[in-house]
């Protein structure tokens, strides 16, 4: 018999947590190996379906755990990845068309590469209980132009893509960065860039 519940008290570093059944009752222990999809990590408050069995000590444990909204989340992340790639391609076209200085594209590419590496290192650190990269650092990298790399990192490494509080701040950095870019490609912004390049 399958049940539906919500993941609670998930400890990603140790790879286990508990599921609280929607029907009520005691929490059920769940290990990362019980999930049918090993390509992503569970997070707190995520809704899943599961079966219940007993371990050698007679305690309840969840088995054959599945994410209930997995398909929709996968489609969303694919659209975000496509959005990041299209943004960089459009920026490259603008540079070659002479509408945007090459320096701006270089900054975005460099920041995106650094951000992608930071996501990979933080994901690896989370798996091995090593020192983590702070969320503040990840947001700063996104703000200065690394958000396309952040989107790619979230998709490739399945990292930070489901944490609501992180995503709220992350999208705020994208909005601020795009607003700054819109100003830079205006007449005043282009004049400012030319002054900066001329001073180098």
Give the sign of the dihedral formed by CA 118, CA 140, CA 73, CA 85: negative
Domain termination site, one of 44, 67, 90: 67
pLDDT tens per residue across span 87-130:
999 999 988 988 788 888 999 999 999 999 999 998 888 777 78
Distance in angstroms (rounded) separating the CA atoms of residues 113 and 34: 34
Say yes or no: 51 and 108 in one domain: no
Residue 122 domain boundaries: 72-199
- Token pair of 74 as six digits: 């996968």
pLDDT at 42: 83
22/121 same-domain check: no
Beta-bridge partner residues of 16 = 11, 31
The rounded radius of gyration (Å) of the Cα atoms in the chain is 21
Judge contact between 27 and 20, C-beta under 8 A.
yes
Indicate whether 88 and 168 sit together in one domain: yes
Residue whose pair of structure tokens reads 């819109």 in the numeric block: 182
Question: β-pairing, 2-11 with 16-21?
Answer: antiparallel
Domain termination residue (choose one: 13, 42, 67): 67
CATH code (residue 9): 2.40.50.140
Residue corresponding to tokens 């000590």: 57
**pTM of the predicted structure, to 2 decimals:** 0.62
């Amino acid at each position: 018999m399958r049940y539906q519940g919500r993941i609670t008290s998930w400890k990603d570093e140790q790879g286990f947590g508990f599921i609280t059944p929607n029907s009520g009752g005691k929490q059920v222990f769940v290990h990362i190996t019980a999930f049918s999809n090993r390509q992503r990590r569970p997070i707190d408050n995520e809704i899943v379906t599961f079966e219940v069995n007993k371990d050698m000590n007679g305690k309840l444990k969840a088995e054959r755990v599945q994410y209930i909204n997995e398909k929709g989340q996968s489609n969303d992340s694919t659209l975000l990845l496509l959005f990041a790639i299209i943004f960089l391609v459009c920026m490259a076209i603008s540079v070659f068309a002479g509408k945007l200085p090459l320096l701006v594209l270089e900054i975005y590419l460099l920041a995106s590469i650094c951000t992608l590496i930071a996501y990979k290192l933080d994901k690896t650190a989370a798996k091995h209980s090593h020192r983590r990269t702070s969320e503040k650092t990840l947001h700063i990298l996104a703000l200065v132009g690394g958000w396309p790399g952040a989107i790619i990192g979230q998709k490739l490494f399945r990292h930070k893509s489901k944490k609501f509080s992180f995503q709220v701040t992350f999208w705020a950095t994208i909005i601020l960065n795009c607003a700054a870019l819109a100003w830079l490609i205006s007449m005043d912004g282009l004049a400012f860039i030319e002054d900066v390049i001329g001073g180098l």
